[in-house]
Structures are given as C-alpha cells and as structure tokens.
Amino acid sequence: MGTKAAKKKAMVKQVKEGSAQLANPSITNDEAPDFLPLEGGPGKKIPQYEMTDTKSSVLYIGRIPHGFYENEMEGFFKQFGTIKRLRIARNKKTGKSKHFGFIEFQSPEVAKVVADSMDNYLLFEHLLQVRLVPPQLVTKDLWKGVNRWYKPLDWVRIERKHHDKERTLEEHRKLVEGIKKRDEKRRKRIEAAGIDYECPEIVGVNQPVPKKIKFAEE
C-alpha cells in the first residue's frame, strides 16, 4: 500500500474514532476495547478524545461518486444550512477526484444533523460515508487549496512541447535506437503470425548520426 493511501486510511480511522467519542462522551479510556494491529505487534487501545466546549462543525465525506464535485456538492448540502468551506481532495497531477472531501458548516448543530441523516445515504449507486471530524483533527492542511479553482493540465501542449524540444546528439541517438528496436519487434510478430507482409522502411532511421557538427567559417 502506498504512503498516500496509508495516510488516507489512518485519517479515516481517526475520524471514525473521534466521531464515536463525540457521539458517546461517556466512554473512558478504561472501557475502550483493545485491538491487534494488522502489521503485528502488541495490542493497543483505541485513542479517545476529550470533549471540549467547541463543537465540531466539520464533516468528512467519503465515497463521493464521479461527477459529484464542488458545485454539485455545495448545491446539495446547502439545503441543510450555510456552508463556510468545502474541499474535495484531488490528484495534484491529473486533477481527478480522490472520492473524499470535507465540508464546514456555520452551525455545529447543522453538521450533527447532516452526519446523522446522510451517513450511508445512497447517491448515484454510492453509499456516502459522513463523519464528524473532531476539532483536534481540523488543521490548516485539511483546507489546503480550498479557495483555489482547479485548472486541468493541458496534456496536448505538454506532449507537444516534449516532442518538439531540441535534443542533443546523444538523445537523438537513443531516440533512433528505440525506433529501430520497436520496428524489429513488430516485424518479428508479423512473421511469427504467418502473415506475408513486407514492412516499409522508416525514412531517416537508418541514416548515420553525425558525430560532430561543422559550422561554416565566415
């Protein structure tokens, strides 16, 4: 499991544990059940969070379906009350949704109602996971990039720039060798399949690459 996936799993676990403590504040450390870690080692106790005067108004939303993004989520959840902030976790490279996010309501009471009514709610064949996030876990990193409108990468422009860039003699030599190897593999596959086909020669590949470039003297 990757580092990012492990961090997400640990964060979801902490949110669930904190939500259980907020829902049942009478549980003490002595009553908390022990559990054995999957990676082995001695048993541990589930961490407990002390109740504070500040009630949680932040929700974790998991299993978000495809197409249910910032605008759709805001339009859906604002029927419960005023939304202060909303963020969907996205891949930094592709911009695709990671299918989880966070919502902060203006009223903690509204957040509690949303958590109770929307957990396991069927939306576009997805059962939403809605949990209250304890105030201890609400950090600045949780809202990183919340006010930044995502702009998808122009992969056509990136690939065009990569294709048209100026190459050194060594880079050009490696490029030609790669083309030759792929052409030889293609010819062998055609021959092994019993197909009588004469592959055309690739123009410019068989020409030798000059070792030195001579410039005309003025």
Lowest-pLDDT choice from 45-49, 76-80, 99-103: 45-49
Lowest-pLDDT choice from 67-71, 107-111, 204-208: 204-208
Per-residue burial over 109-126, b if 16 or more Cβ lie within 10 Å, else e, is: ebbbebbeebbeeeeeee
Q: What is the mean pLDDT of residues 68-81?
A: 92
| pLDDT tens per residue across span 27-46 | 444 554 455 455 555 655 64
- The secondary structure of residue 197, as a DSSP letter, is -
| pLDDT tens per residue across span 94-122 | 788 899 999 999 999 999 999 999 999 99
Residue whose structure tokens are 């997400």: 8
SS3 23: helix
**Residue 18 confidence (pLDDT):** 58
Give the Cβ contact number of residue 19 at 10 Å: 21
Name the residue with higher pLDDT: 74 or 52.
74
| Radius of gyration of the chain, Cα coordinates, nearest whole angstrom | 28
**Residue 167 confidence (pLDDT):** 85
**Residue 49 confidence (pLDDT):** 47
**Residue 142 confidence (pLDDT):** 87
CA distances from 201 to 20, 86, 170, 179, 198 (A): 69, 57, 23, 12, 9
Q: What is the mean pLDDT of residues 131-156?
A: 81
CA end-to-end span of the chain, whole Å? 63
Helix (H) or strand (E) holding 34: strand 34-35
pLDDT score of 53 more than 50: no
Lookup: tokens for 165: 């860039």
pTM for the full predicted model: 0.50
Q: What is the mean pLDDT of residues 192-211?
A: 72
CATH class name, domain 3-143: alpha beta
**Residue 200 confidence (pLDDT):** 80
- The secondary structure of residue 200, as a DSSP letter, is P
Residue whose structure tokens are 């005023």: 82
Task: Please answer whether residues 61 and 74 qualify as being in contact, where contact means their C-beta atoms are separated by less than 8 angstroms.
Answer: no
**Residue 22 confidence (pLDDT):** 52
Q: In whole angstroms, what is the distance from residue 195 CA to residue 83 CA?
A: 65
Residues 12, 15, 19, CA angle at the centre, nearest 5°?
140
* Strand ranges (E), 43-201: 44-45, 58-62, 83-90, 97-105, 122-123, 126-127, 129-132
Task: Please answer whether residues 146 and 90 qualify as being in contact, where contact means their C-beta atoms are separated by less than 8 angstroms.
Answer: no
Lookup: tokens for 59: 């929700």
